[in-house]
Amino acid sequence: MIESTHIFKSNKVNSISKLLITIKHVLMLMNKKGYYEKLSGTKVYCSYNNTINSFEVDNENKLEDVSDNIKETLLDSLNSIKEKYIYRNKNKKLTFIINKEEIFYIGMFYNKNNKYHVYDISFNHIQEIASLSKKIKINKKRKIKTHYKKVYDDFIKHIEKKEISIETFKGKKTLKIKDLLSDKKVNIYKKIVYKNKKKYYNSIELYTMIVENSELILDYKLNLIKYDIISIYICKELCNYLNNLNSEVYDYSIYDIENKINYKIVKNFNSVYNKIKEIELLPPLLPIRM
């Protein structure tokens, strides 16, 4: 319903310094407000239909993997709500995630200009809906126990020791993170032509192709995107760093209610990119037709 974004892809981030400020803000939210494990399963959106005076599952749902028993339990539970006036709006969506026979309620959202925004994800509201049935569960809120300022300071010390080696047509270039933590602009929407295709400056796929697969890049193009690469690398290291703080590794979901942004911290960060090797056949050899 609500789009999750990597921190470096936030509209609020247009420089390395803004990235670091935003990271500190996200850590504060995780420490003070809490975060959730990102659940896997089928999203189910329910809304109240005034014509039939009943809740119904929205048509946009694809529920092949959801049993009829679960659907019936869900609607019967919702229709037991005595005071339905607050829900008498088709744009208000009660959102659930169903994984096999488990039902998790994650909150109520509303539709504005074909985008969904949080209406109510408070604990009291979620508890109220979850109390309608023993089968409806609450996704447990977690918090970073260490104060966010210490986590941030320790993380900065961690990344200041890091460096990235990149292969260019003029040889290997080393980008030292410590030297690049400055107020340099990053580009959210601009594109660069690489490997004969246009890629966004802040593309994880572009980052993976250049850094992880040692793809060659022209020096001047590297200078164009090096701060974008650094911003992605910093967020990748943040994901690894935060997951190493916990015994359980999973994707995090952190909602910033003031800015209406849902940030994500992922356990698997990299884009899946397979380097295709072209085989050159010299004349008179011809490729074999399959």
- pLDDT tens across 274-284, in order? 554 433 333 44
CA 151 to chain CA mean position, Å: 21
Domain co-membership, 27 together with 165: yes
User: Would you state the pLDDT for residue 59?
Assistant: 65
Q: Which of 108, 138, 168 is the last residue of a domain?
A: 138
- Confidence (pLDDT) at 141: 87
- Residues 12, 58 within the same domain: no
**Residue 188, in any domain of the structure:** yes
**Domain limit, last residue, from 97, 116, 138:** 138
Q: Does residue 276 lie in a domain region? A: no
Whole-model pTM over 0.75 = yes
**How far apart (Å, rounded) are the C-alpha atoms in residues 185 and 273?**
27
> What pLDDT, on the 0 to 100 scale, is given for residue 272?
64
For residue 159, tell me if it sits in a domain: yes
The CA distance from 271 to 252, in Å, is 18
Least Cα distance to 173 among 125, 230, 92, 124 occurs for 230
For residue 127, the model assigns a pLDDT of 93
* pLDDT, tens digit, 9 for 90 and up, residues 45-72: 888 888 888 888 886 666 666 777 888 8
- What is the per-residue pLDDT across 253-274, written as a single tens digit (0 to 9) for each? 998 888 888 899 998 886 665 5
Do 30 and 71 belong together in one domain? no
17 plus 75 within the same structural domain: no
Give the chain's domain count.
2
Same domain assignment for residues 134 and 201: no
Domain limits for position 89 = 40-138
Give the pairing type, strands 136-138 and 102-112.
parallel
In a domain, 244, yes or no: yes
pLDDT by residue (tens digit) across 111-129? 777 777 888 888 899 999 9
* Domain-embedded: residue 192: yes
- Considering the domain architecture, whether residues 99 and 202 belong to the same structural domain is answered as no
Whether 24 and 117 map to the same domain: the answer is no
For residue 28, which of 162, 152, 156, 127 has the smallest C-alpha distance? Answer: 152
Q: Are residues 112 and 194 in the same domain?
A: no
Any domain includes 110: yes
Q: Are residues 254 and 133 in the same domain?
A: no
Kindly state whether residue 287 falls inside one of the protein's structural domains. no
Mark whether 17 and 45 lie in a shared domain: no
How many CB atoms are closer than 10 A to CB 112? 9
In a domain, 283, yes or no: no
